[in-house]
């Protein structure tokens, strides 16, 4: 397994880093304060090809691999975590399931739109079913004119902007193994409304919405994969999403390190820069080591995905370690800044708020440990499987 970046990937990283520094970072604090992302930025992201990173060129995308997607999300997240998760949710949670499970007609209809600027999202979580996705109650009933959807969904990242929604709903309530199905839903649609936009601690420039479906009719041809296979679609989608959130966490942590190093060079106490003190050096060293470990775990999971190998465990490991590392890095950064780090005049206050969510969405740290433990137990019983 070769985890070295190709020349094209290195050039991509440089290009995205320049774009992020020039077009994304300057407005990050304002977007956080205003809790909104201007349409002009979304348009620029689409023009750069970031909404179609892994969409094949035949559908208008850039046709890159999962490793390249990680590079884009990490570099954008370093400049603005909210913008980073906007891209991750679009690509991992909407584009990927259509690529993996969509019919030729579904791909032809939706992938060019998603690559061109239409925003995508996943609608899975409900008020009574978070980590237990299989306990969903939002229902889709098949009738002559389509699937009639009734129920509610919460915590939908990109929910306000999305024009294409991957919806997981109950279609077989009496079959515990095949009770859920997946659908492609367009927004706006009659019977679908946004009931609430969450006011969040961090990643404030991206929307997090509550959907209410009131007899919303979804065309029969918009069933994604087979009836009763919705949980498979959801779990597979979340595996890819966890790699994306690992990339977001790496980007946030890298920003924490960069800000800490710069501040430690210029802030003086007791007659010399604080970076000369071992206590500060230790924090910077810890951040540097842990970021590198997280980056390698992220790339390994993406490499396994690109090469058609099982990556569920690798994605969980990358997401778990990167997210918890990200929170540690943000806390270190605030500590390096001291009292100034607690004020929003400096970016580390925002980075600390943004970091926490990486331990929660796409499966909490507790869920990641359950996934990893299951694979470790299997490896001990059946022999090492490499994932």
- Going 29 to 32 to 34 to 37, the CA torsion angle's sign is positive
- The DSSP annotation for 285-313 comes to HHHHHHHHHHHHHHHHHHHHHHTT---HH
CA-based diameter of the chain, in Å? 79
**How is residue 201 annotated by DSSP?**
S
Please report, for residues 259, 299, 346, the alpha-carbon distance to residue 356 in angstroms, rounded to integers and kept in the order given. Answer: 18, 22, 18
Q: With the CA atoms of 244, 164, 159 and 294 taken in that order, what torsion angle do they form, in degrees rounded to the nearest 10? A: 0
Please report, for residues 98, 142, 166, 174, the alpha-carbon distance to residue 106 in angstroms, rounded to integers and kept in the order given. Answer: 7, 19, 12, 29
Owner of token pair 């009763």: 228
Q: What are phi and psi of 48, to 5 degrees?
A: -75, -10
Spatial distance between the Cα atoms of 199 and 29, rounded to a whole number of angstroms: 16
**Inter-residue contact 336 to 280 (CB < 8 Å):** yes
Spatial distance between the Cα atoms of 308 and 184, rounded to a whole number of angstroms: 25
Q: Estimate the crossing angle of helix 312-337 against helix 365-382, to 10 degrees.
A: 140
Nearest Cα to Cα of residue 200 among 186, 210, 189: 210
Identify whether 186 is a catalytic site residue: no
Contacts of residue 103, defined as CB under 8 A and 6 or more positions apart, other chains included, come to 221
Determine which one of 290, 349, 362, 366 is catalytic.
362
Report, as residue numbers or ranges, the catalytic residues. Answer: 362
């Amino acid at each position: 397994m070769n985890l070295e970046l190709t020349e094209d990937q290195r050039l991509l990283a440089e290009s995205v880093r320049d774009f992020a520094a020039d077009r994304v970072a300057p407005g990050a604090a304002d977007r956080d304060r205003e809790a909104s992302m201007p349409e002009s930025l979304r348009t620029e992201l689409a023009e750069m090809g970031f909404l179609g990173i892994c969409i094949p060129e035949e559908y208008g995308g850039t046709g890159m691999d999962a490793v390249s997607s990680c590079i884009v999300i990490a570099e954008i997240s370093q400049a603005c975590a909210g913008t980073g998760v906007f891209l991750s949710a679009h690509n991992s949670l909407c584009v990927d399931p259509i690529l993996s499970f969509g019919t030729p007609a579904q791909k032809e209809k939706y992938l060019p739109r998603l690559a061109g600027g239409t925003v995508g999202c996943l609608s899975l979580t409900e008020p009574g079913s978070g980590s237990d996705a299989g306990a969903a109650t939002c229902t889709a009933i098949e009738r002559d004119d389509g699937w009639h959807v009734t129920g509610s969904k919460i915590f939908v990242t990109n929910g306000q902007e999305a024009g294409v929604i991957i919806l997981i709903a109950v279609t077989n309530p009496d079959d515990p193994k095949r009770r859920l199905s997946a659908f492609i839903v367009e927004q706006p649609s009659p019977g679908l409304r946004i009931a609430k936009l969450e006011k969040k601690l961090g990643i404030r420039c991206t929307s997090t919405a509550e959907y209410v479906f009131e007899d919303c009719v979804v065309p029969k041809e918009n069933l994604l994969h087979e009836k009763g296979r919705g949980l498979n679609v959801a779990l597979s989608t979340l595996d890819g999403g966890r790699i994306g959130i690992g990339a977001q966490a790496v980007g946030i942590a890298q920003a924490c390190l960069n800000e800490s190093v710069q501040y430690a060079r210029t802030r003086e106490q007791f007659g010399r820069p604080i970076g000369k003190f071992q206590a500060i050096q230790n924090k910077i060293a810890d951040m540097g080591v842990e970021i590198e470990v997280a980056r390698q775990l992220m790339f390994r999971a993406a490499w396994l995905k690109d090469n058609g190998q099982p990556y569920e465990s690798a994605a969980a490991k990358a997401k778990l370690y990167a997210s918890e590392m990200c929170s540690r890095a943000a806390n270190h950064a605030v500590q390096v800044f001291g009292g100034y780090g607690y004020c929003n005049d400096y970016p580390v206050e925002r980075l600390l708020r943004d970091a926490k969510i990486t331990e929660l969405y796409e499966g909490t740290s507790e869920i990641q440990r359950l996934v990893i433990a299951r694979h470790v137990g299997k490896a001990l019983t059946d022999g090492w499987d490499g994932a």
